[in-house]
């Protein structure tokens, strides 16, 4: 065998990817033809062997010598072509198995060929090469040479043994000589300037949770751009002085920019490194990746974008002699085992069929077959084939990350964009319309609008003796209140309100504990046409004072418990607010009852009148009041009644604070539908065991809970084995619903329907809904679903243009649910409730501030808050998305992610739970998130601070001291293994050993993939460890690697001990059996008669 020779830079990169990916087929390059007619197998075999002999790289093995990967030419094999019987039924599966079969690159050939025998004169020849020795150009040359040699031999032409071709080895040596240090540094500086600070790939939102390894199954979808559009697109390119390749870069990048909201899109483009005549006749990997930039700053038109892409592409081509592998090492992007760095979306533009197949002989018909490996290395690769029929687009994608419907939609968006830019190339790209609204299931609209009091009067009039409320008073069964009695109580309060001159839209404060009297007070205020201002007495006095100062209610209703508190509130005197004390027991004489026709007392008001004012936390620190309308409330209640009708025996449980918008449904949903409502004690949510006991005692069938409270209740159910047999429907609202919580819910309450709702105070509580299924647990984020009746959801970008389906956008709401605005805050109202940019005159949109996107099935998923987003390396990062991924890690109970106030591009993860190894957690995240989304700092806390509504208090989190930081100071080694690793890495990095921290990330200190290979060889040699190369990418600090090596050594020692014990045990059992047989024979002999 010849002496080993070095790998090219492109081969080094692929060798590392193959080594780290281990068993994937992503780097297999297959090609196959269907043959109809007679075949001389012996001649075909000899033609294949001649090609192997001539092109040495196709019979080279790849090995590591002294920590450096090398290639070495092997002798020609005796047999190369394998024959395998097949049939039309089994061919596809057999061929796919052959394509995906791993290569043994250390000892075997990097190319193999199989002839599938389908019939007497029907065959399929499948050739699979490893990408280390082949590219598309190579396959074209291979088929041409195979056809030429086979036909010549078949015709009787005498052919001499071809001379081995070592051109590839010479080209590798020439590449290394050309890239001297001076030229290399110049190119690196240019590329740094070209790509900008901290470049990264396209952040495409996934449809699924990423798998736990580098290999990902591939999906393929083919779309076609017809010849008319393709010709027009080419003509536009000629007008703009751009090649078809540049035009496709511009169009594809324009679509991707709408998905990622980036000012810059980086595409990886394979380019042939075959500049000389001899290189064009060599089989081998003469290919590299060129990064091409598309700049979208300044709202360019397509014509302007093409001009930028043209100039940038030409510049990149002029500097393409810096190999991609060298660029990656210089820029030091975030590393993870088996993943492609810098670019995750590729564009492969082909003007002709690179692997064209010629006929083997005149009597044989050769038809190329479309074949591909089952794995992919990148998220998405678009292959563009140009011919006389138009453009054939083959979309190869990570099927474990994206649904096919998402890729189909992306292809449709590209076609839409091409149609529009051909017509109007000078229009701003953002103004181009791409499909933005998904198909939604039709929601049944309520019959008509109503007020709470009017609806209650109608229900009470139909069934006056029916149970309306059950007040828990510590006695079994509680105090039962009928609709008639509740109506009389409301009428009595209504009469007293008349004395205060309460009229339509007069604000009336209600500061009362949860009780029957409070419900009656709500009804009385509604009957006046006045505006309910609910106030929770559990709130701080300062907060209540701030609300009363803003509202200056016409009267403040208090109960016996809150009356004493209000007497000490000096704000009451300042605003001259009268206080009406509502007794806990409202008694009425027969005469009063006779005159108290509650239905007649209900004032008729406009559906757009303000029904209530709910105060939420404002950005200034002062509460802001949301003015909800009767129309919005009626729409929310009526939709729910139609979509999820109550059963005859349903019982509800009203536990939500009146200050929260969820209380609207929690109380009025069942009560106005004739369903009994249980009123538990005021602080029931703080006592989970008592909460569950009451649900059991009253046989509650429906609950409305925020996820944080649901989590607490499920924990209590697990601890005490409590089962809520009567529960049928659980509504989750107010917070994001974590996947882990859904899984626990489905485990503990498998027969209960879980409904995930989304909305806010500004839109009458909820505007979308989702019935949670098993499939939702498999998604990265639990969806919030589809819009309710008479409500539209729009996803818009920062210029109010609709975002494409599947792309992130800010959530805007239109329709009947919108509030009038904020109480006495016109500027804030104008900012949040804006004119509908593409609606009817007078229509408005509410800007939620949430980020969302449509899933492939039309369901809405949320990605956090727009105001909490940050940009890292030019990519939008939403902390709540990162939080959800962290919660998926075993041992994590809860997590929150914040950006620093002084360093807004540094993410900190706050984690509750038991995480044994931070490095393993980081590796877990690196397989699921882009590098810029992985927190630089991790802090472990006992619990997350929360606001009174159960949401995480992020402001308090930011003030906490970070326990574990991303930055490192020199930390001295502990133990012999750490000391040995310090010396090893100090030598490789040329770094002072006494300054090398054992907690620093090796990549941050200048490490790169090839150094990892050398380090792995040295560790195996000097530390006698059986660790894998991938382990060095998982444990990227000396300390974490040393601990892993110690653990590995312990496991190895245990395995050896167990093996020794087993062998000794086997020998002992064998000896025992021999002894036993001898003893039995002796016993038998003594027992026999003499």
Query: CA–CA separation, 56 vs 169, rounded Å?
Result: 9
Residue 964 has pLDDT above 60, yes or no: no
Give pLDDT tens digits for 1005-1063: 777 777 888 888 888 888 877 788 878 877 888 888 888 888 887 776 565 555 555 55
Asked, colleague to colleague, whether 193-353+372-431 and 970-1090 share their fold, the answer is no
Q: How far is CA 577 from CA 561, 580, 730, in A?
A: 18, 10, 40
pLDDT at 836: 95
Q: What are phi and psi of 646, to 5 degrees?
A: -75, 150
Residue 1041 backbone class (left: φ over 0; alpha: ψ -120 to 50; beta: rest): alpha
Query: CA–CA separation, 834 vs 822, rounded Å?
Result: 13
> By mean pLDDT, which of 430-439, 659-668, 959-968 is the weakest?
959-968
Residues 147-154: what's their mean pLDDT?
90
pLDDT at 971: 63
Confidence of residue 938 (pLDDT cuts 50, 70, 90): confident
pLDDT at 642: 93
Query: CA–CA separation, 982 vs 971, rounded Å?
Result: 11
Domain boundaries, the chain: 5-172, 193-353+372-431, 869-966, 970-1090
Full-model pTM? 0.77
Fold held by 970-1090: 1.10.1200
Q: With contact defined as beta carbons under 8 Å apart, do 382 and 393 qualify? A: yes
Count of alpha carbons within 13 Å of 930, Cβ hemisphere only? 28
**Full 3-state SS string of 893-919:** EEEEEEECCCCCCCEEEEEEECCCCHH
Q: With contact defined as beta carbons under 8 Å apart, do 423 and 433 qualify? A: no
Q: With contact defined as beta carbons under 8 Å apart, do 765 and 799 qualify? A: no
Mean pLDDT of the chain: 85
Q: With contact defined as beta carbons under 8 Å apart, do 216 and 206 qualify? A: no
pLDDT at 356: 53
Give pLDDT tens digits for 75-133: 999 899 999 999 999 999 999 999 999 999 999 999 999 999 999 999 999 999 999 99
Out of 3.30.559.30, 3.30.365.10, 3.50.50.60, 3.20.20.210, the CATH code matching 193-353+372-431 is: 3.30.559.30
Residue 61 has pLDDT above 90, yes or no: yes
Tell me what percent of the chain is helix, strand and coil, each rounded to the nearest 5: 40, 20, 40
pLDDT at 1077: 42
Query: CA–CA separation, 912 vs 189, rounded Å?
Result: 43
Confidence of residue 526 (pLDDT cuts 50, 70, 90): very high
Q: Which residue has the tokens 């209960």?
A: 752
Structure tokens belonging to residue 645: 């009708």
Query: CA–CA separation, 256 vs 667, rounded Å?
Result: 46
Residues 923-948: what's their mean pLDDT?
74
Q: Which residue has the tokens 């492609």?
A: 340
Residue 983 has pLDDT above 70, yes or no: yes
Query: CA–CA separation, 361 vs 365, rounded Å?
Result: 8
Q: With contact defined as beta carbons under 8 Å apart, do 18 and 1013 qualify? A: no
Query: CA–CA separation, 191 vs 210, rounded Å?
Result: 31
Structure tokens belonging to residue 661: 């918008």
pLDDT at 532: 97
Out of 3.40.50.620, 2.60.40.10, 3.30.559.10, 2.30.40.10, the CATH code matching 5-172 is: 3.30.559.10
Structure tokens belonging to residue 432: 């181009």
Give pLDDT tens digits for 244-284: 999 999 999 999 998 876 688 999 999 988 888 888 899 99
Q: Output 858 or 755, whichever has higher pLDDT.
A: 755
pLDDT at 1087: 31
Structure tokens belonging to residue 325: 């592998």
Residue 986 has pLDDT above 70, yes or no: yes
pLDDT at 570: 52
Q: With contact defined as beta carbons under 8 Å apart, do 306 and 155 qualify? A: no
Query: CA–CA separation, 1002 vs 985, rounded Å?
Result: 8
Report the candidate in 80, 65, 75 with the shortest Cα–Cα distance to residue 15. 65
Residues 605-633: what's their mean pLDDT?
87
Confidence of residue 718 (pLDDT cuts 50, 70, 90): very high
Please state, for a pLDDT cut of 70, what percent of the chain lies above it.
85
Residues 802-826: what's their mean pLDDT?
93
pLDDT at 915: 82
Q: With contact defined as beta carbons under 8 Å apart, do 380 and 414 qualify? A: no
Please state, for a pLDDT cut of 90, what percent of the chain lies above it.
49
Confidence of residue 927 (pLDDT cuts 50, 70, 90): low
Give pLDDT tens digits for 669-688: 999 999 999 999 988 888 99
Give pLDDT tens digits for 398-454: 888 888 988 999 999 999 999 999 999 999 998 898 876 777 776 666 778 899 999
Out of 3.30.70.100, 3.30.300.30, 3.20.20.70, 3.40.50.300, the CATH code matching 869-966 is: 3.30.300.30
pLDDT at 400: 83
Q: Are strands 479-482 and 467-471 parallel, antiparallel or unpaired?
A: antiparallel
DSSP 665: I
Confidence of residue 334 (pLDDT cuts 50, 70, 90): low
Give pLDDT tens digits for 226-236: 999 999 999 99
Could you please report the per-residue DSSP string of 435-453?
A: ------PPPPPPS----HH
Query: CA–CA separation, 297 vs 319, rounded Å?
Result: 23
Residue 884 has pLDDT above 60, yes or no: yes
Confidence of residue 341 (pLDDT cuts 50, 70, 90): low
Residues 920-926: what's their mean pLDDT?
79
Query: CA–CA separation, 204 vs 185, rounded Å?
Result: 32
Residue 947 has pLDDT above 90, yes or no: no
Q: With contact defined as beta carbons under 8 Å apart, do 513 and 785 qualify? A: no
Q: With contact defined as beta carbons under 8 Å apart, do 899 and 906 qualify? A: yes
């Amino acid at each position: 065998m010849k002496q080993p020779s070095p790998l090219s830079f492109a081969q080094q990169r692929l060798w590392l990817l193959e080594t780290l990916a281990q068993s994937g087929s992503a780097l297999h390059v297959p090609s196959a033809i269907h043959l109809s007619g007679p075949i001389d197998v012996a001649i075909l075999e000899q033609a294949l062997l001649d090609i192997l002999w001539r092109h040495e790289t196709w019979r080279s093995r790849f090995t590591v010598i002294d920590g450096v990967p090398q290639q070495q030419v092997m002798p020609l094999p005796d047999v190369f072509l394998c024959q395998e019987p097949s049939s039309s039924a089994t061919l596809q599966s057999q061929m796919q198995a052959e394509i995906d079969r791993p290569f043994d690159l250390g000892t075997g050939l990097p190319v193999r060929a199989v002839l599938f025998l389908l019939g007497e004169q029907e065959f399929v020849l499948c050739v699979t090469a490893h990408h280390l020795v082949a590219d598309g150009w190579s396959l074209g040359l291979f088929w041409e040479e195979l056809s030429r040699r086979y036909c010549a031999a078949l015709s009787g032409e005498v052919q001499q043994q071809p001379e081995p071709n070592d051109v590839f080895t010479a080209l590798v040596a020439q590449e290394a000589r050309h890239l001297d240090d001076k030229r290399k540094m110049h190119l690196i500086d240019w590329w740094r300037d070209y790509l900008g600070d901290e470049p990264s790939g396209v952040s495409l939102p996934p449809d699924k949770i990423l798998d736990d390894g580098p290999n990902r199954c591939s999906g393929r979808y083919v779309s076609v751009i017809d010849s008319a559009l393709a010709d027009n697109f080419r003509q536009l390119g000629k007008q703009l002085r751009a090649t078809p390749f540049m035009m496709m870069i511009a169009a594809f990048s324009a679509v991707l920019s709408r998905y990622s909201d980036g000012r810059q899109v980086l595409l990886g483009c394979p380019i042939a490194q075959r500049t000389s005549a001899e290189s064009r006749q060599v089989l081998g990997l003469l290919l590299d990746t060129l990064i091409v930039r598309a700049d979208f700053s300044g709202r360019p038109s397509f014509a302007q974008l093409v001009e930028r892409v043209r100039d940038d592409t030409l510049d990149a081509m002029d500097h393409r002699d810096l190999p991609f592998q060298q660029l990656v090492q210089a820029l030091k992007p975030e590393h993870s085992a088996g993943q492609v760095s810098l670019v995750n979306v590729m564009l492969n533009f082909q003007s002709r069929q690179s692997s064209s197949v010629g006929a083997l002989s005149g009597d044989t018909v050769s038809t190329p077959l479309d074949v591909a490996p089952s794995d992919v290395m990148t998220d998405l690769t678009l292959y563009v084939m140009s011919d006389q029929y138009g453009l054939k687009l083959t979309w190869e994608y990570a099927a474990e990350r994206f649904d096919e419907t998402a890729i189909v939609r992306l292809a449709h968006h590209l076609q839409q964009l091409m149609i529009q830019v051909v017509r109007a190339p000078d229009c701003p790209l953002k103004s181009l319309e791409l499909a933005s609204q998904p198909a939604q299931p039709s929601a049944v609209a309520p019959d008509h609008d109503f007020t709470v009091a009017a609806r209650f009067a109608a229900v009470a009039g139909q069934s006056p003796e029916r149970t309306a409320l059950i007040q828990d008073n510590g006695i079994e069964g509680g105090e039962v209140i009928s609709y008639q009695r509740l109506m009389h109580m409301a009428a009595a309060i209504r009469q007293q309100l008349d004395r205060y001159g309460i009229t339509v839209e007069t604000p009336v404060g209600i500061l009362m504990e949860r009780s029957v009297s409070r419900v009656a007070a709500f009804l009385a205020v509604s009957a006046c046409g006045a505006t309910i201002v609910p106030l929770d007495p559990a709130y701080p006095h300062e907060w209540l004072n701030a609300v009363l100062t803003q509202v200056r209610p016409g009267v403040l209703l208090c109960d016996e418990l809150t009356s004493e508190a209000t007497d000490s509130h000096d704000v009451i005197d300042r605003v001259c607010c009268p206080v009406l004390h509502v007794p806990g027991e409202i008694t009425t004489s027969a005469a009063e009852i006779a005159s108290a026709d509650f239905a007649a007392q209900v004032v008729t008001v406009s559906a757009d009148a303000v029904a209530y004012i709910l105060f939420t936390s404002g950005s200034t620190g002062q509460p802001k009041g949301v003015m909800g309308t009767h129309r919005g409330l009626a729409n929310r209640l009526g939709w729910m009644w139609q979509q999820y009708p109550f059963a005859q025996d349903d019982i509800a449980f009203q536990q939500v604070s009146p200050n929260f918008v969820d209380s609207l449904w929690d109380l009025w949903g069942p009560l106005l539908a004739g369903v009994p409502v249980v009123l538990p004690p005021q602080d029931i949510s703080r006592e989970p065991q008592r909460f569950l006991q009451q649900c059991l005692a009253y046989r509650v069938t429906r609950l409305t809970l925020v996820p944080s409270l649901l989590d607490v209740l499920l924990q209590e159910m697990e601890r005490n084995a409590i089962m809520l047999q009567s529960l049928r429907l659980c509504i989750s609202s107010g917070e994001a619903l974590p996947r882990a919580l859904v899984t626990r819910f489905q485990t503990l309450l498998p027969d209960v329907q879980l409904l995930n709702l989304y909305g806010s105070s500004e839109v009458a509580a909820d505007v979308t809904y989702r019935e949670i299924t098993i499939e939702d647990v498999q998604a990265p984020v639990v969806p919030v679903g589809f819009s309710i009746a008479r409500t539209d959801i729009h996803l818009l970008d920062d210029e109010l243009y609709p975002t494409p389906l599947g792309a992130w956008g800010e959530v805007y709401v239109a329709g009947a649910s919108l509030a009038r605005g904020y109480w006495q805050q016109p500027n804030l109202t104008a900012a949040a409730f804006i004119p509908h940019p593409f609606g009817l005159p007078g229509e408005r949109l509410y800007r939620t501030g949430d980020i969302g996107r449509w899933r492939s099935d039309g369901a809405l998923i949320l990605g956090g808050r727009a105001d909490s987003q940050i940009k890292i390396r030019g990519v939008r990062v939403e902390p709540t998305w990162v939080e959800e991924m962290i919660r998926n890690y075993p041992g994590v109970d809860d997590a929150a992610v914040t950006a620093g106030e002084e360093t807004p591009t540094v993410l900190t993860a706050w984690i509750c739970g038991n995480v044994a190894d931070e490095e393993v957690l980081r590796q877990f995240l690196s397989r699921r998130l882009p590098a810029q989304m992985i927190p630089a700092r991790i802090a472990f806390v006992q619990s997350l601070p929360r606001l009174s509504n159960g949401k995480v208090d992020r402001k308090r989190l930011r003030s906490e001291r970070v326990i574990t930081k991303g930055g490192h100071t020199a930390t001295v080694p502990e133990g012999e293994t750490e000391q040995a690793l310090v010396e090893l890495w100090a030598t490789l990095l040329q770094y002072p050993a006494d300054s090398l921290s054992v907690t620093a990330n090796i990549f941050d200190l200048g490490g790169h993939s090839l150094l990892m290979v050398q380090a792995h060889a040295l560790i195996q040699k000097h530390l006698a460890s059986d660790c894998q190369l991938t382990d060095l990418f998982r444990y990227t600090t000396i300390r974490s690697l040393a601990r892993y090596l110690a653990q590995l050594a312990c496991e190895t020692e245990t395995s050896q001990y167990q093996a020794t014990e087993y062998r000794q045990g086997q020998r002992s059992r064998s000896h025992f059996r021999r002894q036993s047989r001898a003893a039995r024979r002796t016993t038998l002999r003594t027992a026999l008669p003499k």
